[in-house]
Each structure stands twice: as C-alpha cells, then as structure tokens.
Amino acid sequence: MLAASVCGKITLYGMQVSEEQGVPYHYHNRCPQPYSARDTAEWLMFRRFVHAGVATFKEPCIEECHDGKDRCDECREQHPETYGAAAIAEGQQVWDRGAMPPYCLARQMMLDQERKHTAGGGEAYTKEQRDKALAEINAKMAPPAVLKKLSRRAGGGGRGGHTAV
C-alpha cells in the first residue's frame, strides 16, 4: 500500500509460489515450501492490485499458473524466453551452485511423500498432516542419544570451558 501511494509504477516480481509453478519458493532460501493459506491470501491481494491497475506482474504466465496446470503449460509454451529449455537450464545452473542447507532435507522428504500420496489419488496434506509427517521424518533422522548428550554438554561449555564435539 505504501508503494501505491509513493510510486507511479509498481512491478511485482516472483509471484509464483511453489516449485510446481516452475521456480523456487524463495530466491534466498533453498528449502522447499508447501503452499499455505497465507500464500493464497497474499496471491489474492496482489492479483487485486493488478486487476485494479495499481501494479503489474513482471513475469509472464503468473495468473495462468495460479489458475491451473493446463493453462500454465499452454502459456509457458508461448514464452520460451522465460520458460524455454535454455532459460530453465541457465537458471538451474545458478541455483545448483549453492548447496541446500541440511535443515531442508526433512521438508524435501515430506513434500516428496506428499507428491507420491497425491499422485496415487490422495488429497494434498493438511497442515496437521504435514506437521505429523515432518515430526516422523525428523524423529527418524535424529542423532543417536550419545550424540545428543555430547551436543548438550558442548553447548554448556564442556570441561575446563572448552567445547568438544
């Protein structure tokens, strides 16, 4: 709203919200993100800005990709400069240069599990189902009790004020 009162032109970038729409959720965070109710609320607000003429989307196909896979695929075919194989490969090379942080692994595993579930005809997970799946995955990935004790002791300073891990 502040931008609308100060700027003569507002251009919105990066309004695709999931890997399924062709781009990472965050440019700065390699962790995969599930789509949530907050994302829907933000999307509806920004789409209203565009329809009211207050802002424009920079990338093509934003609305089509939010409307559904078929419309998204059709629009992308018409914009190879943004979504063609060469453009995607170039973007993927940049993205692949940075490693995914370790804390993202459980989230990726949960999203893979959800994709398999929906591919088999199941519904997308609810927030509660995602939380439960993440808790189960994290429990399986937790370090053995001995390492947990060492980690706690190291955080407390260990012997003689030195930390040993």
pTM: 0.53
Q: Transcribe 43-63 into DSSP letters.
A: HHHHHHHHHTTS-EESSTTHH
Which among 67, 26, 72 is positioned nearest to 47, based on CA atoms?
67
Could you tell me if residue 161 is left (phi over 0), alpha (psi between -120 and 50 degrees) or otherwise beta?
left
* Average pLDDT of every residue of the chain: 76
Q: What are phi and psi of 78, to 5 degrees?
A: -85, -5
Which among 55, 42, 47, 52 is positioned nearest to 6, based on CA atoms?
55
pLDDT of residue 77: 92
Which among 129, 88, 96, 92 is positioned nearest to 111, based on CA atoms?
129
Of the pLDDT bands very low, low, confident and very high (cuts 50, 70, 90), residue 26 is low
